Amino acid sequence: MKVLGISMGRKNERCDIYCKQILMGVEAAAKASGKDIEVEFINTVTMDIGQCRGCGACSKAPDGKIKCILKDDYLELEEKVLDADGIVICAPVYSVGIVGQLKNFLDRFGAAHDRASMIDEQNKRREDGRPLLDERYFKDRYCSYVAVGGAWTEDWTCLGLPMMHLFSCSQTMKVVGQINANDQGRKTSPFLDQPMMDDMFAMGENLAMVRQRGNMSGLPSESSDGERNGYRDLPGLRHPRQDHCC
């Protein structure tokens, strides 16, 4: 299992700190349970991720691959997401909704990797005997979200978490936890807010403890006990503050 932490804020600032704290929770839970989990952290603030141009080329490539033809850093981040089993996204919320870089990535990733469309395409390829799509497109994934804002109240951060769910919905990822970390403008350092740091750590532990059973790919599969396409959480999950805003 591999967990990818994505920070879209300034380097060594709050998004980085919270993201790394979550990954530390993942590592601690993995060590305690004997699980083999690899973690990777990436900061995207200097990456060039342009906006979708709506050309449709990603679904019309002559080689049959579902790939954006724009040559920028989106392709690097896409590969890291496809390789991961669990994904943590920590992103700043400057004006009510998610930061523009994340929205650019979602516009190019979401529709192009829609699970329902891919299932239909894969089934057609099986019937026609054509080369199949990359199996990573059908991998079942888990994710956690942290929206980081400076506003005292949730008014100016209220759409951060709801918009982050655009990342998981098209791929039918399972969301393990989410935290709206607003009011950062009045806090000297995240390290001085121990309850918040504990919540981040606990969310990482939960992400590591969740177990996949079956799959959500829509393709034929069956677990050893005959249950089809089901999910179950392991017992003992901790419950950090789960913010539901909007």
Q: Which residues, other chains included, contact 188 with Cβ-Cβ below 8 Å and sequence gap of 6+?
A: none
What are the extents of the domains in the chain? Answer: 2-216
* pLDDT value of position 29: 95
Strand 174-181 relative to strand 211-212, pairing: unpaired
- Please give the model's pTM, rounded to 2 decimal places: 0.84
Nearest one of 233, 95, 113, 97 to 174, comparing CA atoms:
233
Which is higher by pLDDT, 72 or 213? 72
pLDDT band at 176 (very low <50, low <70, confident <90, very high): very high
pLDDT over threshold 50, residue 55: yes
Read off the amino acid at residue 164: M
Render pLDDT for 178-226 as a digit per residue (tens, 0 to 9): 999 999 988 889 999 999 999 999 999 999 998 533 344 444 443 333 3
Lowest mean pLDDT across 52-56, 82-86, 213-217? 213-217
For range 66-90, the mean pLDDT: 94
Read off the amino acid at residue 176: V
pLDDT band at 63 (very low <50, low <70, confident <90, very high): low
Fold of 2-216: Rossmann fold (3.40.50)
* 73-88 residues labelled b (16+ CB within 10 A) or e (exposed): ebeebbeebbebbbbb
d(CA 173, CA 110) in angstroms, rounded, equals: 12
Which is higher by pLDDT, 225 or 89? 89
d(CA 131, CA 138) in angstroms, rounded, equals: 15
pLDDT band at 228 (very low <50, low <70, confident <90, very high): very low
Render pLDDT for 22-46 as a digit per residue (tens, 0 to 9): 999 999 999 999 989 999 999 999 9
Strand 86-92 relative to strand 142-148, pairing: parallel
pLDDT band at 230 (very low <50, low <70, confident <90, very high): very low
Render pLDDT for 232-241 as a digit per residue (tens, 0 to 9): 333 444 445 5
For range 100-117, the mean pLDDT: 93
Q: Which residues, other chains included, contact 128 with Cβ-Cβ below 8 Å and sequence gap of 6+?
A: none
Query: What are the angstrom distances between the C-alpha of 48 and each of 87, 139, 168?
Result: 20, 26, 22
Paired strand residues for 169: none
The tokens describing 186, both together, are 């009045």
Report percent pLDDT > 90 for the chain: 65
